Chains A and B, each alone.
Chain A
Amino acid sequence: MTAIVDTIRGGSDAPQGLKARSELTARELMREVGSVLRMSEADVAKLGEIPVDPSEDQTMIINMGPQHPSTHGVLRLMLELQGETVLRCKPIIGYLHTGMEKTGETLTYMQGGTNVTRIDYVSPLNNELVFSLAVEKLLGIEDDIPERAVWMRMLLSELNRMSSHLLFLATNGMDLGAVSMMIYGWREREEVLRFFQKVTGLRMNHNFIRPGGVAADLPAGWRDDILRLLDLIAPRLDEYDTLMTGQPIWRERLQGVGVVTAQEAIALGATGPILRGAGVPWDLRRDQPYLRYSELDFDVIVGSYGDAFDRYAIRLNEVRESMKLVGQILDRMPGGIYRIQDK
């Protein structure tokens, strides 16, 4: 017995205080690797006498990331925990910062699209759209953009919103333990990306929406592709409902978690699903419409509790709204030129 204690405490005969595993008996090994408290009972009793400040004792500060698997390698969180509850959190970002603004300083307007499409590879077309709209406004040509280009931009934006939300559902499902959701979400997203590849030539980083219009016309058969896409995804979304929305474990993990009130969301300048999840009905497509969104019919999805479940449900239902919009755009897609002819 003393031999074991000597081994663990660093006996003089053992280099660095540990014997090779092969030299230990099973019982000794168990004692060494198992969670055995290596203290005498008298030592433990002494610890109990140390006065403890209860307020200090109840929280723990831990570092999560940037190598933690569930942070996807781009984020570090410093968390103050009380049991499983996060009391405070400080995100440390910048791991993906590549100085795109500095790069952009030396680019022309037409080159800029190549840069901004990489800002967010999950929604490249929406970033290209924002950049193109800004450039066109500065050049004073925003009313000269051909109708077909405008409607194509809307079509691609809504499809991109769908693929982005599908990615959200996939990765967040995975992180919360619904691992099969990862496969389903990526599968449906890939269907959308396949259409993008047919239209733009690339799955992402398209540089397709450019100042003055779009880079190319829609390919032959695009209408059938979209109809197929809509037919395919609609029942799959119902599957997600079965898999997650009504599922008790999923609800337990999301409902009442991470509540953001409307007041907090506004004060923090939150937008998108986070703001709408807090119950603020604010959607630029409806409230300050751009392109031709004012001519389309869709619902703004709003949450009621501001918790993680609302933010999930909003994204799931926004995919449905985007599909509604895509259907309407399909019916109204005008013909004609797809970019400004003035060179």
Chain B
Amino acid sequence: MTDTSEEHQPEVAAPAEPPTMYGARRADVYGQIVLHVTREQYVPVIKQLLDDGHEMCIDLTAVDYLAFPTRTLPDGIVAERFEIIVNLLSMGARRRVRLRVQVPGDDPVVPTLFDLYPGTEAFEREVYDMFGITFTDHPDLTRILMPEDWEGYPLRKDYEVGEIPVQFTSPNPGHADRMEPRP
């Protein structure tokens, strides 16, 4: 769904001169522009992108990399537990930009994008609901999908899935004779 001319290259090690965009580390994968921003750069870089015609925020989501701290990241980017992922679209340039923000597990706080993209209000509520990442200055940071009194954050990798007891493990005794091979 992105550019048609793309190559399949895994994230390669950084060249001698690391490419940047708006002062953020740029590492393209699968033909998509990917910017690695710090939490301090997060809002200013997105503000610049918005001013440069990336008028739509298509998605904002998160990933819990609890079990995968050794993932490949460009040099200088320290892997943290969570990542916030923002997908921006410029309809004029027909271009998509993806931002990845490392968010530590012991301090899962990120500024809100509500003032730049009002549509992120629901996305951020979902990330809060599912991952327990807090967005400062969000107008209504409450659970969106789970019930209000739900405990825990379901999409965290250490969240117990739980199980429902299986009620019928053996053939119905009333019909046991049908399950037997006929003489």
Q: Which residues does A use to contact B, with CB under 8 Å?
A: 93-94, 97, 99, 101-102, 130, 133, 137-138, 140, 266-271, 280, 282, 284, 287-290, 294
- For B95-108 the 0/1 string (1 means CB < 8 A from A) is 00000000000000
Chain A residues, Cβ within 8 Å of B117? 267, 269
Chain B residues, Cβ within 8 Å of A138? 30
Tell whether, in the assembled complex, residue A288 and residue B94 are in contact, meaning their CB atoms are under 8 Å apart: yes
Select B1's contact among A94, A133, A268, beta carbons within 8 Å: A133
Select A269's contact among B30, B58, B143, B145, beta carbons within 8 Å: B58
Chain B residues, Cβ within 8 Å of A267? 55, 117-119
Cα A145 to Cα B154 with chains together (Å): 36
Tell me whether A288 and B3 are in contact in the complex, defined as CB-CB below 8 angstroms, given that A93-B144, A101-B155 are known contacts. Answer: yes
Cα A197 to Cα B164 with chains together (Å): 33
**Is residue B2 within 8 Å, beta carbon to beta carbon, of the partner chain?**
yes
Chain B residues, Cβ within 8 Å of A287? 91, 94
Cα A290 to Cα B5 with chains together (Å): 11
Cα A130 to Cα B1 with chains together (Å): 9
Tell me whether A288 and B2 are in contact in the complex, defined as CB-CB below 8 angstroms, given that A94-B146, A101-B155, A268-B119 are known contacts. Answer: yes
Tell whether, in the assembled complex, residue A282 and residue B91 are in contact, meaning their CB atoms are under 8 Å apart: yes
**Is residue B178 within 8 Å, beta carbon to beta carbon, of the partner chain?**
no
- Closest CB-CB distance, B133 to chain A, in whole Å? 15
Q: Count residues of chain B with CB under 8 A from any CB of chain A.
A: 26
Tell whether, in the assembled complex, residue A94 and residue B144 are in contact, meaning their CB atoms are under 8 Å apart: yes
CB-nearest residue of chain A to B61: A101
Tell whether, in the assembled complex, residue B56 and residue A266 are in contact, meaning their CB atoms are under 8 Å apart: yes
Chain A residues, Cβ within 8 Å of B3? 288
**Is residue B16 within 8 Å, beta carbon to beta carbon, of the partner chain?**
no
CB-nearest residue of chain A to B7: A140
Number of A-B contacts (CB under 8 A): 53
Select A280's contact among B91, B147, B154, B159, beta carbons within 8 Å: B91
Q: Which residues does B use to contact A, with CB under 8 Å?
A: 1-4, 8, 30, 55-58, 91, 94, 117-120, 130, 143-147, 154-155, 159, 161
Q: List 26 A-B contacts (CB under 8 A).
A: A93-B144, A93-B145, A94-B143, A97-B146, A99-B154, A101-B130, A102-B154, A102-B155, A130-B1, A137-B8, A137-B30, A138-B30, A140-B8, A266-B55, A266-B91, A267-B55, A267-B119, A268-B119, A269-B56, A269-B58, A270-B119, A284-B1, A287-B91, A288-B1, A288-B3, A290-B4
Select A102's contact among B8, B58, B119, B161, beta carbons within 8 Å: B161
Cα A108 to Cα B119 with chains together (Å): 32
Chain B residues, Cβ within 8 Å of A266? 55-56, 91
Cα A6 to Cα B147 with chains together (Å): 45
Cα A271 to Cα B96 with chains together (Å): 15
Chain A residues, Cβ within 8 Å of B58? 269, 271
Interface centre among B117, B143, B159 (most CB of A within 10 A): B117
